[in-house]
Structure 1
């Protein structure tokens, strides 16, 4: 990324030197445009990183304090399971709107609105009063997360078409870092701030507010074209968009959607319930939060490495299988010895959670054009999150009615098998444009 910026700065210097030449054939406009593009590219990178940091704290901070929230709001186990199902439901409902909103307002402006919604939702929900208000404010924050989830691969594809792997890795690494940080520090931060779970949840609104700032120029520049289209890509984006592309005709799109849905099921069960599994096994609350953080922080290095490796392979199936085996081993550990081998199971499940950056990378690889990526991203994520909705809810119901974690963990392990199968199918070297055309 630094080399990219260096080349941009070199071109800026060369263009500026050209402006001082007396030759009448030289125009100052390219130099200004190059400088603007270099600055905007840096702003886009900052926006991507800050936005990614905010795409999971709304969920993992709640997972760390779920018991306190349940007691404070009087939730049953089934209602708490419903609460953990709200994220995929919102992602499915609102994510499908993202491409249409991006075409009308620009992807950068939509992400800016998304970060604003996250800020408002996180600030309101602890003080909304009652379960219904808590769910409504959570839905507002999750709406912002949903549209940003879908549009991040689109922004990466348009701004960095030759660096999809490295930029997806940077985005995924920031996402994992935000996820892990929220899981690790929410409980001790809540204690330091007086012990109120409301304060412990509301404080994350500050991080979301910071993510609004890099996207504000996208809103101001809308009259001249969206920020990511400010380099002259607006015309190309309109030309390359295939109006007749029917994404549902693509077997790869369906395989990727199911893979996305099953990995999301595992991820939201983990984020919503893993800390509680450890706490019920006798692990202290603060340690349980750290174990969840370990699971999430595994994605920081791996989320940067896996996309880069995946883009160098013609078939991503081997990575899918390796991730799945780690997940099966982690679930087996949770079933037989949840407390004694807790740190090992947290690490293994952290590797299994890296199916998410792999899925994002495959979204960018399975379509040739930016428009194709937008359609595939919306389809795979919306359909995938619909598939994932019953999982966390079913875990809550099984836990409440069985009185233990044996059946829920068996369900998690059972879902890993089809995830591996469809992941191998989604990893084949094909594009949705070709399959949809046929």
Structure 2
């Protein structure tokens, strides 16, 4: 059996609840779909609801570019820390309650940071909201694996479209909304979505046992893998790839509005370009999970995304200003690599436990690797008096590392089979699912 045929099999309706299945089981899947979608909307919204307004907030609170870099680094700190500890939280609380906790932290943090009186308080409350988003990043892939094992590509697409929608709309309306009613309302109003998601997951948790999920064990048990995930080379390669992609995603979320403002564009235009970038990534998110699931070699997909990043960065740095929307389109193509790497986490596992272990490690270690991106981008610019070195060394070097890593991890292999191998092939080998 080929890799592509194995991957495609994950979307066959072989384990879909049959027509005669209890109505409660089907409703459990519908509620899970709504809860997954609503939760995914919040995972980037926490970042993009604030980043277009950092200049406005900075003028009120009196912080400089270095603090903007700190705000850009906070998401990665949260994703690194909670990526590594979320599997333990899931074992303690269960996945649905972990999702409830995730959305409550996100909603409360967003609502309260709108009332922050100073920079320090705003940073702390933003960290609370980001902690919730970080929990959600890790818990959603194993929840998808459990509730929809027959629809991995479809549900990965739903998740990624929701993530992108949550990232797209806030920067589009943030500046006009802040100008109309103030930045505090523009930042805090989004908390409603997170609180609704918390309610949906609470309802899912309260469902009678046995109808909540179609099969399997959701918890990433300690014995899910033959070896600890941190001792598996494949997991480290995926973490490095995820880290380099995330490095650039958060550089752009943090700095693209500032880069465009420095080029003479208005704050509203800069915010709209962030939305355009995310919108283009959203379009690719409609097809990227299915392609990633089915291909036998993921390297061309990553190479295409890296090429988009390189072209977009080059255009913003030295290209004609009237072509700025085109450069945002290319950056959106690059940003869609986040969809690819998240899909790889879901598809390169055979069990919910393996998915949970791989999701936690890749997102935790990968976010730790990406920590320096936004802060280093701004620091290098301050030290050199311009953006050229930041583009070349901070962004360019990370894209080169992503290419090399993607080539090494170019063929699909499951974390379970890799953990069982005494001497895993560094390039990975095709796997056959029994």
Report how far residue 204 of structure 1 moved: 1.2
Superposed structure 1 runs of 4+ greater than 6 Å apart: 236-240
Match of 1:198 in 2: 184
> In the alignment, which residue of structure 1 is the partner of 2:194?
208
User: Does 2:130 match 1:148?
Assistant: no
Larger radius of gyration: 1
Q: Tell me the equivalent position of 2:90.
A: 102
Q: Which residue in the other structure is 2:32 paired with? A: 44
2:322 equivalent to 1:340: yes
Paired residues for 1:254-333 under 5 Å: 254-333=236-315
Which residue number corresponds to residue 396 of structure 2? 413
C-alpha displacement of 1:238:
8.3
How far did 1:338 drift?
6.1
The one of 159, 173, 179 equivalent to 2:161 is 173
C-alpha change, 1:239 and 1:181, in structure 2 (3 Å) is closer
CA gap 1:171/1:238 in 2 versus in 1, 3 angstroms: closer
**Which of 94, 100, 111 does residue 123 from structure 1 map onto?**
111
TM-superposition CA deviations, 1:62-113 (whole Å, max 9, x none): 1111111211221121122112101000111112121122222221211111
Question: For residues 76 and 338 of structure 1, what CA distance do their matches in structure 2 show?
Answer: 28
1:381-392 matches, within 5 Å, as 381-392=363-374
Contact kept, 8 Å, 1:306 with 1:357, in 2: the verdict is yes
1:23-73: CA deviations, max 9, x gaps? xxxxxxxx5xx2111001001111111111111111112111111121122
| Partner Cα distance (2:74, 2:258) in 1 | 18
CA distance in 1, matches of 2:221, 2:359: 19
Q: 1:195-247: per-residue Cα shift (whole Å, max 9, x none)?
A: x22221111112222222211123434x847x75x43524x868995354321
Instruction: State the alpha-carbon separation in 2 of the partners of residues 329 and 238 from structure 1.
Output: 40
Instruction: Using the TM superposition, give the Cα deviation of residue 165 of structure 1 relative to its aligned residue in structure 2, in angstroms.
Output: 1.3
398-407 vs 383-392, which deviates more? 398-407
Unaligned runs of 5+ in 1: 16-30
Summarize deviations over 1:266-304 as a string: whole Å, max 9, x none: 000100110111111011111111011000111222112
Output the CA distance in 1 between the equivalents of 2:358 and 2:57: 36
> 1:399: Cα distance to partner?
2.5
TM-score (norm 2): 0.89
CA deviation map 1:362-402 (0-9, x unaligned): 11222222111111110100000001111111112122333
Within 5 Å, give how 1:361-376 maps onto structure 2: 361-376=343-358
Q: Which runs of 5+ in 2 are unaligned?
A: 1-11, 423-434
State the shift of 1:361 in Å. Answer: 1.0
TM value normalised by structure 1: 0.88
Residue 75 of structure 1 aligns to a residue whose secondary structure is coil
Contact 2:235 2:362 in 1 (8 A): yes
